[in-house]
Amino acid sequence: MIFVKFVLSINHEYYSYQDASSIEMCILGGFLTSDVGFHPSFFKKYACNDQQQYTSANATALEKQNGYILLSDQYPEEGYETQLKMTYNQFIKLLDDWEEKVIKLEPKEVTITYENNEFVIETKD
């Protein structure tokens, strides 16, 4: 199974990365916890802006390429430049789901799986 897991801090201020099944999903974990956090609107605007090809934040560098958004670790280990590739629709849907299911509801645990070309957010209280 392809996944990344998060847990909510005791004071409900942030989510922290707990586990991932691959480097790509670890990149996604860093992106959502360190870069997106509780404010996905910047990255939604980036995805919709045809003029902006690149952006970066604390943990992640993003690049648009041939109809995809590529997420990569801002500080990769030497020799390990792995990228997570997703369509614009997958990217926007993931940010929308993160906002609706995670930011608004603040569940204690969050797991994102990738199956059948779709990122699915599951939560537990």
Q: What are 68-115's pLDDT values in tens digits?
A: 999 999 887 766 678 999 999 999 999 999 999 999 999 999 999 999
pLDDT value for 41: 92
Please give the Cα distance from 109 to 46 (Å, whole number): 28
Q: Is the pTM of this model over 0.75?
A: yes
CA torsion 36-8-106-90 (nearest 10°) is: 40
Q: If DSSP codes are grouped into helix, strand and coil, which group holds residue 42?
A: helix
The Cα 17–Cα 47 span in angstroms is 24
